[in-house]
Amino acid sequence: MSNRYAIVLAAGQGTRMKSKLYKVLHPVCGKPMVQHVVDQLINLDIKDIVTIIGHGADLVKSQLGKDSAYALQEEQLGTAHAALQAKDILADKDGVTIVVCGDTPLIRAETMEALFNHHEETKAKATILTAVASDPTGYGRIVRNESGLVEKIVEHKDATEAERTIAEINTGTYCFDNETLFAAIQNVSNNNSQGEYYLPDVIEILKNSNEVISAYQSEEFEETLGVNDRVALAEAERIMRKRITTAQMRNGVTLIDPANTYIDADVTIGQDTIIYPGTIISGLTTIGTDCQIGPNSEINNCEIGNNTVIRQSLAYDSSIGSEVNIGPFAHIRPQSEIGDEVKIGNFVEVKKAAFGRGSKASHLSYIGDAEVGSNVNIGCGSITVNYDGHNKHLTKIEDNVFIGCNSNLVAPVTVGKGAYVAAGSTITKDVPEEALSIARARQINKDQYVGKLKFKK
């Protein structure tokens, strides 16, 4: 096997997206398109991956980080000009270079591997990954001669009526003999309808110098979809979503309605977990085994243990243990740590709060900026008063505490171990261990008083 290199074209603005966000950074199933491409390349045995950056260069760089080397294309003069920018890093290398567009997020490592292999077997100088499109509009077309050999690629905008009827398209992925690529690319002109230097023109240039050109047709068009606008973006999302849900099911996850379940590319879910419809699981979420999530729930960047149930609820940037019961209609906000066997029930909002093992806030509470020990019971309607209008303060509730219903814990405040707060209390001072604290007006009953009220008839 020869040395392998890769160039990812990602410098374009993506005008057709009509967006502030640079095209290759648009996410598909939660991950920017260009990251999908690079993640697939990383699975191959490639020595150098060079991403061509231009529009949004810094953002693309911070997205990909150390996954790639970079070459800057200062002006976007076309795909050939873009590839040429990798010259300083790659030009003198001996081997095969794959060129991929940063806007083809569905391309799989297996297909690129097959392309490399085909290229090497046919001893070609260039091999194009082609596909047959039911609607080839917008794509470059593969023009073949009578014997079926590739002559050239013609861009949609430059194609004749007859050429536009060709259904075989250029997917924008190619393998080149590396030195041949950089030699030929110098001869590409911008004499075409868009005034751009087209990388596909390298094919005709090599053909004219009698080099072997090969084509490898991918089995399904879907995988090579190029995303130029929001319509194609939604199409890519649909295809990727199906790919992800299928893989999750094959791994032993039950999806009640896969078409109505939205799981990001980097989510991990354990066996025998059941996901109900309308559930969105995003970011770097990990879910253990035997959980039940949904329906209609959102989980983003959470780490969840085993046997946990989350119903009709939201959870963000938090860790949630095993045997936890959340919802219905609970909201776990960022930086929360929900321990094992905890219950966060109906209409409870938790923010930046830690709950120890077995603690419960079962109904209608707000617990924010709090450290809750283990086996604590927080009664219905109780809240931590964490904000004084300027600063947030901490509420500490130690192990085995009982907070009676409808209590306010005005932070900063600590309720000591085993203490008992009477229902309806507004706690403004620390409560010692094992103490009973009652902080509410005393009840007065005035006998037979109702008859004396003036408004009473």
- What are the residues whose beta carbons fall under 8 Å from the beta carbon of 26, sequence distance 6 or more? 14, 17, 19, 32, 33, 227, 233
Among Ca ion, ligand UD1, none, residue 140 binds (CB under 5-8 Å by kind) = ligand UD1
Q: Determine if the peptide bond prior to 258 is cis (ω within 30°).
A: no
Cα(390)–Cα(352) distance, rounded to whole angstroms?
17
Between strands 377-378 and 402-403, the pairing is parallel
Residue 246 CB, nearest approach to ligand UD1 (Å)? 24
55/343 with CB nearer ligand UD1? 55
**Residue 32 binds which entry of Ca ion, ligand UD1, none, CB below 5-8 Å type-dependent:** none
Active-site option among 118, 156, 363, 393: 363
Cα separations in angstroms, 441 against 322, 438, 450: 41, 9, 21
Contact partner at residue 407 from Ca ion, ligand UD1, none, CB < 5 to 8 Å by partner kind: none
Question: For residues 25 and 10, what is the distance between their CA atoms, to the nearest angstrom?
Answer: 9
| Residue with the shortest CB distance to Ca ion | 226
If the CB atoms of residues 188 and 409 are measured against ligand UD1, the closer one turns out to be: 188
Report the site for Ca ion in 219-278 (rule: CB under 5 A): 226, 228
Comparison of 71 and 344: residue with beta carbon closer to ligand UD1: 71
Task: Count the neighbouring beta carbons within 10 Å of the beta carbon of residue 444.
Answer: 6
- Asked if residues 266 and 284 have their Cβ atoms less than 8 Å apart, the reply is yes
Smallest distance, ligand UD1 to C-beta of residue 125, A? 18
CB of 264 to ligand UD1, least distance (A): 22
- The site for ligand UD1 (CB under 6 A) is made up of 9-12, 24, 52, 54, 73, 76-79, 81-82, 101-104, 139-140, 153, 155, 169-172, 198-200, 226, 228
The residues facing 281 across adjacent strands are 263, 299
342 interface partner picked from ligand UD1, Ca ion, none, CB below 5 to 8 A per type: none
Give the residue with the Cβ less far from Ca ion, 17 or 287: 17
63 touches 131 (CB < 8 A): no
Q: How many residues bind Ca ion (CB under 5 A)?
A: 3
With tokens 């790639």, the residue in question is: 68
Are 151 and 144 within 8 A, CB to CB? Answer: yes
CB of 163 to ligand UD1, least distance (A): 12
Residue nearer to Ca ion on the CB measure, 103 or 204? 103
CA–CA distance, 237 with 330 (Å, rounded to integer) = 28
- Whole-angstrom distance, CA of residue 252 vs CA of residue 287: 13
Token pair listed for 439:
């902080």
The minimum distance between CB 226 and Ca ion, in angstroms, equals 4
Does residue 125 contact residue 178 with C-beta atoms inside 8 Å?
Answer: no
β-pair partners for 261: 279
The dihedral through the CA atoms of 227, 229, 235, 236 has a sign that is positive
Q: Judge whether 126 and 213 are in contact, CB under 8 Å.
A: yes
CA nearest neighbour of 392 among 374, 372, 367: 367
Q: Is 12 in the site for Ca ion (CB under 5 A)?
A: no
Nearest position to ligand UD1, beta carbon: 140
Shortest Cβ 26–Ca ion spacing (Å): 12
Nearer to ligand UD1, 155 or 369 (CB): 155
Q: Which of residues 64-103 bind Ca ion (CB under 5 A)?
A: 103
Residue 280 Cβ, how far from ligand UD1 at the closest point, in Å? 27
198 touches, from ligand UD1, Ca ion, none (C-beta below 5 to 8 Å by class): ligand UD1
When the beta carbons of 237 and 340 are compared against ligand UD1, the nearer one is: 237
Residue 5 has φ and ψ, to the nearest 5°, of -130, 165
Q: Would you call 55 a catalytic residue per the annotation?
A: no
Neighbours of 230 (CB within 10 A): 13
The DSSP H or E segment spanning 221 is: none
Positions marked catalytic: 363
Query: Where on the chain is the footprint of Ca ion (CB under 5 A)?
Result: 103, 226, 228
